[in-house]
C-alpha cells in the first residue's frame, strides 16, 4: 500500500524506489560494478576455509585475489535483506572518501549476494588494542581522527548519511595504519533537507549506541558522535564500553566515571604510553562526546579540528607516560567477554574483517 501524507496526497517514494526493480537489483548495476560469481569463487579457492577471514551475524568474509591480482575481501551474505546488501551498495557507491572502505562491486548467485571490498590487512581497531603492543597512543589517536574524517564527510553530505553502528570493530586499517569506516549494512539516509531521521527499529551495539537514540528512535549526527566518544574512551583505557557476563548480565565499564576526569584518568591504559596532557585532552573530549545532553556534544567537524591540532602539538606529547605495568591489559572479568554480539536494537552485523 502506498503511504500518504497527513494532507492526503501520496508521500514521495524513497530516493532509490524509482531505480530499484526487485528482484533483479537492476538499479545497482548503474551504481556499482557487478562481478561474476565464478570469478569470486575462483578468487577464494571455492570460498575455502583457508580463505575465511571471519564470521558475522549475516554472513562470512573471505579474502581473495582477483584474476588481475587485486587482493579483496568478499562478504558472502546468506540473508541479503537483513544483511544490509542494498544499504552497503547505495551508500558506498554514492559516498566516496579516503576514510571510508572502498566497495569495488557486488555479485549474485541465486538468492545469495556478495560484496567485494578492498582488502584492509591492518585489521580492526578492537583487535589491535588487544593484540598489538606497538599500537600505542599516536597510532590509536590517528585512526580515531581518520574515522572522524570519514564520519564528518557522511554528515556533511546532502542527503546526510547515518552509519548507526560506529564501534572499534567497524574501524578497519590498511597496511599503513590509515583508518577506514566499514560495515554500512545499517546505514540510512535522511531526507535532503533534514538533519535527523526517525527509525522504526533502533539498532547498533550495546555500549556504543547512544541511549537517547535507543529511547527516542531518532538518529542525529550527535548520536553518532556519542558512539565515537565511546571509541575514544576505548582507545584511551583499553577497555570496551560493555562486557557481557556468562549469566547474561551486562557491565558498562564507564558508568561510574560520571563525567569525572580524575576517575577516567585512573583508567588510562598504560600499554598506550599516553603522555599525561594528551590523555587529559582526549579524556575531556570523550566525556564531551558522551554527554547525556546532545546540545553539549561537539560536531564531527569540531572533533576533527581538535584531534588534528593535538596530534601536531608537540607540547602535548611531553611528560613521562606511565610504563606498562603487569596488571595492565584488558581488565576483564575472566569469564566476561566484550558485549560485541549484544545488539542494542534488533538488527546488528559484524564488520567485514
Q: Where are the alpha helices (DSSP H) in the chain?
A: 26-31, 37-43, 85-94, 125-131, 137-156, 211-216, 221-237, 261-265, 276-289, 300-312
Residue found under cell 578468487? 43
Give the burial string for 306-330 (b: 16+ CB within 10 Å, else e). bbeebbeeeebbeeebbeeeeeeee
Interatomic CA distance for residues 66 and 203, integer angstroms: 34
Helix (H, G, I), strand (E, B) or coil at 123: coil
Q: What angle do CA 72, 81, 51 make, to 5 degrees?
A: 25
Interatomic CA distance for residues 89 and 104, integer angstroms: 9
The DSSP bridge pattern shows strands 188-189 and 161-162 to be antiparallel
Residues classed as catalytic: 165
Q: What are phi and psi of 171, to 5 degrees?
A: -115, 110
75 is in an annotated binding site: yes
Interatomic CA distance for residues 327 and 324, integer angstroms: 8
Among candidate residues 76, 171, 70, 163, the one with its CA nearest the CA of residue 122: 171
For 16, the grid coordinates are 532509490
For 83, the grid coordinates are 544483511
Q: Where are the alpha helices (DSSP H) in 44-185?
A: 85-94, 125-131, 137-156
Strand intervals (E) in 158-298: 161-162, 171-173, 179-181, 188-189, 196-198, 218-220, 242-244, 250-252
Task: Work out the burial of residue 111: count CB atoms within 10 Å of its CB; fewer than 13 is exposed, 13-18 middle, 19 or more buried.
Answer: exposed
The DSSP secondary-structure symbol of 21 reads -
- Residues at the binding site for ATP are 75
- Residues at the binding site are 75
Amino acid at each position: 500500500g502506498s503511504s500518504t501524507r497527513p494532507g492526503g496526497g501520496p508521500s514521495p517514494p524513497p530516493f532509490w524506489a524509482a531505480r530499484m526493480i526487485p528482484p533483479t537489483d537492476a538499479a545497482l548495476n548503474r551504481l556499482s560494478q557487478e562481478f561474476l560469481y565464478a570469478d569470486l569463487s575462483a578468487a577464494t579457492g571455492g570460498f575455502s576455509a583457508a580463505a575465511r577471514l571471519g564470521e558475522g551475524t549475516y554472513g562470512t568474509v573471505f579474502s581473495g585475489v582477483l584474476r588481475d591480482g587485486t587482493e579483496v575481501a568478499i562478504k558472502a551474505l546468506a540473508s541479503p535483506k537483513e544483511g544490509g546488501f542494498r544499504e552497503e551498495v547505495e551508500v558506498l557507491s554514492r559516498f566516496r572518501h579516503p576514510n571510508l572502505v572502498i566497495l569495488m562491486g557486488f555479485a549474485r548467485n541465486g538468492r545469495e549476494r556478495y560484496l567485494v571490498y578492498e582488502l584492509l590487512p591492518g585489521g580492526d581497531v578492537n583487535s589491535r588494542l588487544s593484540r598489538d603492543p606497538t599500537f600505542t597512543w599516536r597510532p590509536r589517536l590517528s585512526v580515531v581522527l581518520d574515522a572522524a574524517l570519514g564520519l564528518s564527510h557522511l554528515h556533511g553530505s546532502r542527503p546526510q548519511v547515518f552509519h548507526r553502528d560506529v564501534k572499534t570493530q567497524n574501524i578497519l586499517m590498511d597496511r599503513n595504519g590509515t583508518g577506514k569506516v566499514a560495515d554500512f549494512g545499517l546505514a540510512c539516509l535522511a531526507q535532503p533537507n533534514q538533519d535527523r531521521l526517525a527509525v522504526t527499529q533502533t539498532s547498533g551495539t550495546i555500549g556504543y549506541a547512544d541511549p537517547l537514540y535507543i529511547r527516542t528512535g531518532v538518529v542525529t549526527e550527535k548520536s553518532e558522535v556519542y558512539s565515537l566518544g565511546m571509541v575514544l574512551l576505548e582507545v584511551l583505557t583499553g577497555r570496551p564500553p560493555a562486557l557481557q557476563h556468562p549469566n547474561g548480565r551486562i557491565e558498562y565499564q564507564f558508568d561510574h566515571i560520571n563525567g569525572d576526569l580524575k576517575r577516567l584518568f585512573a583508567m588510562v591504559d598504560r600499554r598506550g604510553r599516553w603522555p599525561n596532557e594528551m590523555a587529559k585532552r582526549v579524556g575531556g573530549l570523550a566525556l564531551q562526546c558522551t554527554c547525556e545532553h546532545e546540545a553539549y556534544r561537539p560536531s564531527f567537524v569540531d572533533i576533527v579540528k581538535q584531534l588534528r591540532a593535538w596530534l601536531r602539538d608537540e607540547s602535548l606529547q611531553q611528560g613521562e607516560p606511565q610504563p606498562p605495568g603487569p596488571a595492565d591489559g584488558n581488565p576483564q572479568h575472566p569469564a566476561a567477554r566484550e558485549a560485541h554480539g549484544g545488539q542494542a536494537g534488533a538488527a546488528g552485523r559484524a564488520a567485514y574483517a
